[in-house]
Structure formats: structure tokens, C-alpha cells
Structure 1
Amino acid sequence: MPASIRHGFRARAHPARSVPCPHEPCHARAHQACIVRVNGRVLKKLHPARIAAWARITACCPECQVQPGIPCHDDGRARTDVHPRRIQEAKETLA
């Protein structure tokens, strides 16, 4: 199924589901919900690390002025997460 149609069917799902979850115990594949590996429970919300990974590849960061795909930084040190403004930018880019 083409990606444009697939995303249309998943319109209610968060756009960050299009990337695999980097959260250590989860590791859900793209287009699948995040889960708790211990008991197999499906989470209603995505892990914050997955949302950060989606924002990292989707949008430029207005805070530290980096391009998509490059991690955010604070005074030259790379961050493990992204700036909150980058997540906002990714949502605005999607709209």
C-alpha cells in the first residue's frame, strides 16, 4: 500500500508512529503502537523518545538552529532529547 494512502487510514494516529520507537524496552516497529514488554500491554500514548526521534528527523530546531536529522545541542554538547520548540515545529510542519 502506498505511504500516502497508509497515512490517510491512520489519520487519528500520532505522526510519530511513522518512526520506530528507540525506547529501550519497547522497540516497537514503525506504524505500530508502543508496548510494555513485561506484560505486553499496548500504550495509548507514545514514548517521549519516539516523539523526539520523529521531531529530530522531521523539523529544524528553532532553538539551536540545526537541520533535520541532526541532534539538538546546548552550547556545543549534543542532547539526548530535543528542544520542546522542535516538537512544536514538527507539528506545524505537518499541518
Structure 2
Amino acid sequence: MTTSRYGQTAPPMPDSIRHFMRAGQHPARAIPCPHCGAAAHKPCRIPSRGVPMAQVHQQRIAARAQLIACCSTCQVEPTTPCHTNGRALENGSVHAARYAEADRSAA
């Protein structure tokens, strides 16, 4: 899809740039929500009613952090769940240091 302006056509915007151009969206919206099943770049929904939410679910934020950041607390690489004493954290949670690392990598 190209855009025509003043007789010239513009090439399509790369997905890597398009994501950062989406004003006002939480970076976690770039991945599907594991809690409500919302697709990437779509708003989270209240599972019982299907009503779109203004915020994203905490599980989606944690999934994004796990996907893109290393955890300095438990020393795991991206995509590996955080753990304490060899057991994965409950409900897919991640350590606070991993959230901070994910936010730094997005900036």
C-alpha cells in the first residue's frame, strides 16, 4: 500500500518504525494478550463482557517484558520465565528489574 501526495508515491512504512509512531499506545500492545486473547495492536478486553479497555492487562505487560528483556534478578535470557529458587513465578509474573529493562530497551 503506497500513499500518493503531490504526484509522488511514498514507500510503505517499515513495521519497526510503525510501532513507535503509534501515539498513546502502551508498548505491550505489540504482542497478543495472554489474558483476554486480544490480537497484537488491539486493545485488551474485559473477558466476561468483551468490552475494550483503555489500559492493557498486567499479564500482557509481563509477557512483553519476558519476550524482550533479560532479567538481572534471576539471570535469565529473553523468553525464559523468571524464577525464584528454581520455581517459575506465579501467573507468568516477572521481576521488577525485568520491567525496567524492557522499558529501557523500548526507549
TM-score by length of 2: 0.79
C-alpha distance after superposition, 1:37-68 (max 9, x if no partner): 33332111110000000000110001101000
Supply the RMSD in Å over aligned alpha carbons.
1.4
Alignment of 1:11-90 (within 5 A): 11-23=23-35, 26-79=36-89, 80-90=92-102
Please give the alpha-carbon distance, in whole angstroms, between the structure 1 residues aligned to 2:16 and 2:22: 10
**Is 39-48 or 4-13 further displaced after alignment?**
4-13
Please give the alpha-carbon distance, in whole angstroms, between the structure 2 residues aligned to 1:93 and 1:38: 34
Q: For 1:41, what is the secondary structure of its paired residue?
A: coil
Q: For 1:52, what is the secondary structure of its paired residue?
A: helix
Alignment length (residue pairs): 93
Gapped runs of 5+ residues in structure 1?
none
Computing the radius of gyration from Cα coordinates, the structure with the larger value is 2
The structure whose RCO (Cα within 8 Å, separation 6+) is larger is 1
C-alpha distance after superposition, 1:13-33 (max 9, x if no partner): 11110111000xx10001111
Q: Give the alignment partner of residue 4 of structure 1, picking from 16, 20, 42.
A: 16
Gapped runs of 5+ residues in structure 2?
1-11
Percent identity of paired positions between Structure 1 and Structure 2: 49
